[in-house]
């Protein structure tokens, strides 16, 4: 074999090797893009509800009114609601907070506050009526 022929053979072999490497790399790259495309979803394709689950809002410096109910703190961030709750007498405010923030039934509230269940029901409904009037008058 002539020396020039040997060098040309090496050049062709190297050229062939480089082409194979590039083809394989391109195939792997396009395969990865295809697999990623099957799993990923564009933000524009998401509904508003799905987008809301992806977002996080920090509320470090929001005004929050804290009410103490049976040793537990309840934070109310709505200013108008907090002011309206503050207008209620303490026992009625506790009943409303226990009912809506702690999801307690009238029976559970009555046991905790040592009252009759009907009294709790009456105070809760009358307090809600009063809250409604207070909030509507502010508008």
Q: What is the CATH number of the domain that holds 112?
A: 1.10.10.10
With respect to residue 98, please indicate whether it lies within any of the assigned structural domains. Answer: yes
Region 105-111: mean pLDDT is: 92
Per residue in 71-94, pLDDT (tens digit) is: 888 888 888 888 889 889 989 999
The model carries a pTM of 0.55
* Spatial distance between the Cα atoms of 102 and 26, rounded to a whole number of angstroms: 59
Q: State whether residue 72 is helix, strand or coil.
A: strand
With respect to residue 104, please indicate whether it lies within any of the assigned structural domains. Answer: yes
Q: Please give the pLDDT value at position 106.
A: 92
**With contact defined as beta carbons under 8 Å apart, do 104 and 119 qualify?**
no
Both 23 and 77 in one domain: the answer is: no
With respect to residue 52, please indicate whether it lies within any of the assigned structural domains. Answer: no
> Six-digit token pair at 128?
């809600």
Furthest CA-CA distance within the chain: 112
| Enclosing domain of residue 133 | 65-138
Q: Please give the pLDDT value at position 55.
A: 79
Both 69 and 33 in one domain: the answer is: no
With respect to residue 51, please indicate whether it lies within any of the assigned structural domains. Answer: no
With respect to residue 53, please indicate whether it lies within any of the assigned structural domains. Answer: no
Both 86 and 25 in one domain: the answer is: no
Both 77 and 30 in one domain: the answer is: no
Q: For tokens 């809506």, name the residue.
A: 100
**The pLDDT of residue 1 is above 60:** no
Give CB contacts under 8 A, 24+ apart, made by 47-56.
none
């Amino acid at each position: 074999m002539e020396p020039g022929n040997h060098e040309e053979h090496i050049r062709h072999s190297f050229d062939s090797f480089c082409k194979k490497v590039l083809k394989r790399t391109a195939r792997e790259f396009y395969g990865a893009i295809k697999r990623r495309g099957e799993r990923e979803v564009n933000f524009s394709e998401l509904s508003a509800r799905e987008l809301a689950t992806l977002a996080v809002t920090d509320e470090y410096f929001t005004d929050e009114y804290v009410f103490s109910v049976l040793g537990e703190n309840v934070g109310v961030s709505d200013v108008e609601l907090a002011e309206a709750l503050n207008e209620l007498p303490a026992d009625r405010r506790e009943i409303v907070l226990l009912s809506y923030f702690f999801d307690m039934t009238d029976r559970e509230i009555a046991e905790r506050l040592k009252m009759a269940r009907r009294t709790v029901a009456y105070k809760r409904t009358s307090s809600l009526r009063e809250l409604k009037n207070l909030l509507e008058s502010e508008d």
